Structures are given as C-alpha cells and as structure tokens.
Amino acid sequence: MNEREIRQILVGQRASDGAGVRLTRVLHPQRPLDPFLMLDEFNSDQADDYIAGFPPHPHRGFETVTYMIEGKMLHEDHLGNRGLLTSGAVQWMTAGRGIIHSEMPQQEEGRMRGFQLWINLPAAEKMKPPAYQDIAPEQIPVVALDGGRVKVIAGRFPHQDRVVTGPVRGVTTDPLYLDVQLAAGKRLDVPTPADYTALVYVFEGELMVADQAVRQGQLARLGPGAFICLQGSDGAGRALVLAARPIGEPIAQYGPFVMNTMAEVEQAIRDYQNGRYTE
Ligand code: FE2
C-alpha cells in the first residue's frame, strides 16, 4: 500500500457563465485532468451573482454533476425531466448525444453555494442517449467518523468492517465523489484504485493532504497510489475528494461540447443549430 503524494496545487480563477453567474473555475476544460474536465464552485449571498442562472443551453459528449451545498435550483430539460435541487442534493446528468437544459435559481435572496463537475465520457459512449438522475439529500450515505464525517455521493468508501456505496451507479469512469469534513488532528485514509486520477479540493478551512497543508480554494492533484492521507489541520477542514479512471483519449472541447476531434465538435454545433438534439 503506497500513499499518494501531491503533484500539483491549482487555484481557481474568477469566471462568469450562463447568463452572468459569478463563479470560481477551479478546473478549466482547457487543462483537464482526465477524466475530469471542469470544476466550478459557486458561492455567494449576493443575488446579483446568481439570479440570472443558466437559461436553456446544450451539452454533448460528457456528464455534468451538480452538488448543492446551500440554496435551491430548478433543472428542466428537453426530455421533460424537472427536478428541484435543494441543499445537499445532487444531480447527475449524462449529456450523451445531446441534452438541452436550464438550471435556474429558485430564490431571490440568501446564499447559493455548490459545485458543478464535468466528467468525460469515452468515445464509445459520447453518443449514447442522455440520462438524468436526481439524488435527494437523504439518499446520500453519511459516515460518521471520530472527529468528522464523509458523505458518499459516488463510489465505494470502506469504513471499519463495511463498504459504504454512493447512490450514483453505472458510470464507466467509476468515479469516487466524497464530501469529507475533518476536525483538527483527525486522520482519514481514503483508498483509491492506484492508477485513477485523484483530486482533493479544500472548500472550507484547511486540510493536510499527504502531510502538506492545502488551504480553502486550493485543488491538490495527487500522484498514483493506493490511498490518500487526509488530516485535519489547526482548524476544521472540508473538501471534495474525487477519483476516477482516466479515459486516455484525445479531448476536443468547445463550450458545452466535449468530443474527441474538432470535426466532431463542429458536428455537435451543427446538430444543435439544426434542432437534432430534440428529435
Ligand atoms: Fe448545463
């Protein structure tokens, strides 16, 4: 069993997306960490930062995962799916060959806080039918630790004599998606398949990751290894822990289209303009 070491620390950049939602782009699709393409954090109590939302827009070729920490957002798509994301809820959307959806805030004041992660699909699945899973907060297992807790959104988290499995199943890249909270001095080892891409994004306080301090707003990319060692720093810390099997294929991305070649991206744009996503 070897421990993963930090290979790189990334910090997010301020960005605006949708109809003018202010957010922090932690992972940028121009510099993906296979199979993770993008990670956005939105966190504001100023309605002007989020009220415009994300009016109808397309996606093709990958999956979007939205995790609400605080706030209310309504998802609607051209397939007729409609789901209200509330605090603690997750939406796992497989865009596949094409989906047109909107994500609109359902509040005019208060804090809107959460994440959107993009996970790539292999060539063989980029054109599969779109799918959508709404996961209510009570469906997400919470593992209580001595001085912390782990929410298991996707993947397997072994704890004591059992394995806790998240509600999201059947994803080719076999993602692990955890929300980990640790008090000062508390240690947690998170096992991961050794060759999977692994990331830790600290979004509250500070955590020691492989014996190195990672502060709020920093994303640690880890090298290969059988487990990630996390430890509570001086204060409590909270982080997303992500791991998934790399796809190892070329990536061509333009806006909400992620394919293997630019010719396929151009086709994706033409198909959208010609109304093919809703046929
Ligand atoms: Fe979207």
pLDDT of 151 reads 98
- In this predicted structure, which of 101-110, 115-124, 173-182, 197-206 has the lowest mean pLDDT? 101-110
Kindly give the distance from the C-alpha atom of residue 173 to the centroid of ligand 1, in angstroms, as a whole number.
20
pLDDT of 235 reads 83
DSSP 129: P
Q: Which residues have CB under 8 Å from 34's CB, separation 6+?
A: 120, 197, 246, 247, 248, 251
Kindly give the distance from the C-alpha atom of residue 80 to the centroid of ligand 1, in angstroms, as a whole number.
15
Average pLDDT over residues 18-22: 92
Taking Cα atoms as reference points, which of 134, 130, 143 lies closest to residue 90?
Answer: 134
Residue 260 has pLDDT above 70, yes or no: yes
Kindly give the distance from the C-alpha atom of residue 91 to the centroid of ligand 1, in angstroms, as a whole number.
11
Q: Is 49 helix (H, G, I), strand (E, B) or coil?
A: helix
DSSP 139: G
Kindly give the distance from the C-alpha atom of residue 100 to the centroid of ligand 1, in angstroms, as a whole number.
8
Report pLDDT digits (tens) over 26-66: 999 999 999 999 999 999 999 999 999 999 999 999 999 99
pLDDT of 200 reads 98
Kindly give the distance from the C-alpha atom of residue 102 to the centroid of ligand 1, in angstroms, as a whole number.
7
Q: Mean pLDDT in the chain? A: 96
State in Å, rounded, how far the first CA of the chain is from the last one: 50
Kindly give the distance from the C-alpha atom of residue 93 to the centroid of ligand 1, in angstroms, as a whole number.
9
Kindly give the distance from the C-alpha atom of residue 90 to the centroid of ligand 1, in angstroms, as a whole number.
14
Residue 220 φ then ψ, to 5°: -100, 125
* pLDDT > 90 fraction of the chain, expressed in percent and rounded: 95
pLDDT of 1 reads 62
Kindly give the distance from the C-alpha atom of residue 214 to the centroid of ligand 1, in angstroms, as a whole number.
29
Kindly give the distance from the C-alpha atom of residue 186 to the centroid of ligand 1, in angstroms, as a whole number.
37
Residue 123 φ then ψ, to 5°: -50, -40
Question: Which CATH superfamily groups domain 6-263?
Answer: Jelly Rolls (2.60.120.10)
pLDDT of 272 reads 95
Kindly give the distance from the C-alpha atom of residue 95 to the centroid of ligand 1, in angstroms, as a whole number.
9
Judge if pTM exceeds 0.75: yes
Average pLDDT over residues 218-235: 95
Kindly give the distance from the C-alpha atom of residue 59 to the centroid of ligand 1, in angstroms, as a whole number.
7
Kindly give the distance from the C-alpha atom of residue 55 to the centroid of ligand 1, in angstroms, as a whole number.
9
Kindly give the distance from the C-alpha atom of residue 145 to the centroid of ligand 1, in angstroms, as a whole number.
34
pLDDT of 81 reads 93
Domain boundaries, the chain: 6-263
Kindly give the distance from the C-alpha atom of residue 113 to the centroid of ligand 1, in angstroms, as a whole number.
16
- The 3-state secondary structure of the chain, one letter per residue: CCECCEEEEEECEEEEECCCEEEEEEECCCCCECCEEEEEEEEECCHHHHCCCEEEEEEECEEEEEEEEECCEEEEECCCCEEEECCCCEEEEECCCCEEEEEEECCCCCCEEEEEEEEECCHHHCCCCCEEEEECHHHCCEEEECCEEEEEEECEEEECCEEEECCECCCCCCCEEEEEEECCCCEEEEECCCCCEEEEEEEEEEEEECCEEEECCEEEEECCCCEEEEEEEEEEEEEEEEEECCCCCCCEEECCEEECCHHHHHHHHHHHHCCHHHC
Q: How far apart are CA 46 and CA 109, in angstroms?
A: 7
Report pLDDT digits (tens) over 126-147: 999 999 999 999 999 999 999 9
